[in-house]
Amino acid sequence: MLPVRVAGHRLAVLAVALYCSLVSSPGHAYIYAHNSNITHMIFEDMPSFFGSRVPKEGLVGVLVESRPLNACTPIEPPPRKPLPINNNLTNYIVLIRRYDCNFDIKVLHAQQAGFSAAIVHNVQSDRLLSMGSSNETIADEIEIPSVFTGYTAAQDLKKYIIGESGAYVVLWPEFSFPLSYYLIPFSGVMGMIILTMVTILIVRCVQHRKRARRNRLTKEQLKKIPIHKFKKGDEYDMCAICLDEYEDGDKLRILPCSHAYHCRCVDPWLTQTKKTCPVCKQRVVQPSPDHPESESENEEGGIGDGPGAGEEDSTERTPLLRASQPGSPSSNNGFSRNNSATDPTTITMSWDPYIHNLMEGGCVLDAVIVGYHPGQESVWAAKQGGTLSKITVNEIKQLVAKDRNSFFSNGVTVGNMKCTMLRDKINEEGDHTIDLRTKATEGEKDTYNICVAKSGQALVIVMGMKDAHGGKLNLKAHGMADYLRKSGY
């Protein structure tokens, strides 16, 4: 970090130096040489650091050479006779040679002699210098403006010294942008803006950290979740996080939703990311009145979600996924039976993480998970408003029927969509999938790939986007069915 601090320090010093140079620098000025009201020459000069500034409207006067030339001693006053160019013009400007004494002494002698301004010129050099004072007392006495010019300019200016010819000079200040006049208000406004932005940023960071802490488990809460030592024959077989099968002696964290994971896998998730189950997204602990959950958690389905929500007070050890009727899928994995009078056989999910996982990736248009056991054919979960959710009991029976000879010639229907059979491996060990293609109709000219994958109790059916490749859909459906099979479904 040391090089960064040194670089920042140097940058700050450079900025201050630049500001001071812009505000404090005397800048340039110009000498206009006139003859008979016609401008003949313009010379660049440098104002001094002492005395008054050259007036904005300029200073007009007749040029007189100093006597003595270096003005290190009191000099002769300007002539008293009226100026031929303008009887009202009374300003005289003296031309002084550099060296032999300090600048402030030269200008003070010019002021004492009665000159309105002084021009000090270099000797054998056209380099411009900023004239400074060596004595503050002398500098405080000086009131007239003074400038410094080069040697060549001085030689040319001497041609305009004779007043009878109608020659005169004008000292003009260089136009300079009033930086300090605008820089101070601008700096104040920018400072307020930066201060406001920093304050907002700090507030947002604090809010984010508080929100993150509310969404994570504390170590005390984590200790209250039971740990189970795995033994062969247990109902758990594979960790859904690392996808490794459990071995004897593995420590498993059993969440209230009955999902189990390696402690080394799920503990960092719960304490550093989210206090929800990685699979079903259900909260591990119920929110307390003092710490209401954020909107993002509400949307994920933790509050009042699922069957029986709000029926009784819950504790940290109370499963959020309450079992429904014995033998139904919800007794273990959160499926609940829909008692709709119009369709008593339909099963819907109290949440849809499985459908959500299937829809991720941008290649799936529609998805449904159905049970196919004889007499229990039903929809377990489906995309809301999707076509596949309209699948019928007869269509489910047809997909798992033993007699499949007519499928390639006659096709099948899924969700009332007529489909062509492309590949049928649903009864082959290690595959258990069907690849279909919808047929074009008068109302729908486009066709879509559909893949069906079978687990122990369910069919996973996905329909791809218009141009989705069937291989990607097959992997999606097969992966979900394989997970359900290993989970006992």
Q: What is the CATH number of the domain that holds 78?
A: 3.50.30.30
At 338, the amino acid letter reads N
Task: Determine, yes or no, domain membership for 190.
Answer: no
pTM for this prediction: 0.34
Element (H, E) at 264: helix 263-272
Most trustworthy range by pLDDT among 88-92, 285-289, 387-391: 387-391
Q: In this predicted structure, what is the pLDDT of residue 293?
A: 47
**Whether residues 340 and 487 fall in one domain:** yes
**Whether residues 374 and 416 fall in one domain:** yes
- Whether residue 370 is predicted with pLDDT greater than 80 in this model: the reply is yes
- The residue with greater pLDDT, 184 or 336, is 184
Query: What are the strands, taking DSSP E only, across 316-391?
Result: 335-337, 347-349, 364-371, 378-382
Distance (Å, whole) CA 421 – CA 323: 38
Which residues lie closer than 8 Å to 215 by C-beta, 6 or more apart? 274, 275, 293, 294, 296, 297
Distance (Å, whole) CA 358 – CA 362: 10
Mean pLDDT, to the nearest integer, of 203-217? 85
Q: In this predicted structure, what is the pLDDT of residue 75?
A: 95
Report the interhelical angle of 2-24 vs 179-214 (nearest 10°).
150
Task: Determine, yes or no, domain membership for 462.
Answer: yes
| pLDDT class of 352 with cuts at 50, 70, 90 | low
- Whether residue 489 is predicted with pLDDT greater than 90 in this model: the reply is no
**Whether residues 337 and 463 fall in one domain:** yes
- The residue with greater pLDDT, 342 or 296, is 296
**Whether residues 245 and 341 fall in one domain:** no
- Could you tell me which of 263, 246, 355, 346 has the C-alpha nearest to residue 301? 355
Mean pLDDT, to the nearest integer, of 72-100? 80
How large a percentage of the chain has pLDDT more than 70?
74
- The residue with greater pLDDT, 296 or 252, is 252
| pLDDT class of 36 with cuts at 50, 70, 90 | low
| pLDDT class of 179 with cuts at 50, 70, 90 | low
Query: Virtual CA dihedral for 342, 346, 351, 353, nearest 10 degrees?
Result: -140
For residue 387, the domain's CATH number is 3.30.450.30
Asked if 382 contacts 369 with a C-beta cutoff of 8 angstroms, the reply is yes
Q: In this predicted structure, what is the pLDDT of residue 305?
A: 40
- Whether residue 304 is predicted with pLDDT greater than 60 in this model: the reply is no
- Whether residue 134 is predicted with pLDDT greater than 90 in this model: the reply is no
**Whether residues 292 and 401 fall in one domain:** no
Q: In this predicted structure, what is the pLDDT of residue 470?
A: 81
Domain count, the chain: 3
Q: In this predicted structure, what is the pLDDT of residue 333?
A: 38
- The residue with greater pLDDT, 297 or 469, is 469
What is the domain range of residue 45? 24-176
Mean pLDDT, to the nearest integer, of 367-393? 90
Task: Determine, yes or no, domain membership for 206.
Answer: no
Pairing assessment for the beta strands 38-47 and 92-97 based on DSSP bridges: unpaired
Q: What is the pLDDT of residues 8-26, one digit of tens each?
A: 444 443 443 444 443 344 4
**Whether residues 350 and 485 fall in one domain:** yes
Mean pLDDT, to the nearest integer, of 217-230? 87
**Whether residues 282 and 424 fall in one domain:** no
Task: Determine, yes or no, domain membership for 293.
Answer: yes
**Whether residues 163 and 247 fall in one domain:** no
Largest CA distance in the chain: 133
Q: Which of 253, 281, 302 is the last residue of a domain?
A: 302
- Whether residue 140 is predicted with pLDDT greater than 80 in this model: the reply is yes
User: Distance of alpha carbon 118 from its chain centroid, rounded?
Assistant: 59
Cβ–Cβ contacts within 10 Å for residue 59, how many? 20
Q: In this predicted structure, what is the pLDDT of residue 103?
A: 94
Mean pLDDT, to the nearest integer, of 259-288? 82
- The residue with greater pLDDT, 309 or 63, is 63
Least confident of 159-163, 210-214, 317-321: 317-321
- Whether residue 201 is predicted with pLDDT greater than 90 in this model: the reply is yes
Q: What is the pLDDT of residues 397-428, one digit of tens each?
A: 999 988 888 888 888 999 989 998 888 888 88
Mean pLDDT, to the nearest integer, of 198-216? 88
Most trustworthy range by pLDDT among 89-93, 295-299, 340-344: 89-93
- Could you tell me which of 306, 468, 442, 310 has the C-alpha nearest to residue 381? 306
- Could you tell me which of 321, 312, 282 has the C-alpha nearest to residue 300? 282
Q: What share of the chain is helix, strand, coil (3-state, %, to 5)?
A: 30, 25, 45
**Whether residues 49 and 117 fall in one domain:** yes
For residue 264, the domain's CATH number is 3.30.40.10
Across all residues in the chain, what is the average pLDDT?
Answer: 77
Q: What is the pLDDT of residues 81-94, one digit of tens each?
A: 655 555 556 789 99
3-state secondary structure of 398: helix
**Whether residues 389 and 242 fall in one domain:** no
Q: Which of 256, 281, 302 is the last residue of a domain?
A: 302
**Whether residues 447 and 379 fall in one domain:** yes
- Could you tell me which of 98, 87, 94 has the C-alpha nearest to residue 112? 94
- The residue with greater pLDDT, 42 or 397, is 397
| pLDDT class of 73 with cuts at 50, 70, 90 | very high
- Whether residue 4 is predicted with pLDDT greater than 50 in this model: the reply is no
- Whether residue 254 is predicted with pLDDT greater than 60 in this model: the reply is yes
**Whether residues 150 and 264 fall in one domain:** no
Pairing assessment for the beta strands 146-149 and 117-121 based on DSSP bridges: parallel
Query: Could you identify the residue written with the tokens 């406001």?
Result: 196
Least confident of 123-127, 214-218, 330-334: 330-334
| pLDDT class of 343 with cuts at 50, 70, 90 | very low
Burial class (CB in 10 A: 0-12, 13-18, 19+), 272: exposed
Which two tokens mark 259?
């999902």
Task: Determine, yes or no, domain membership for 205.
Answer: no
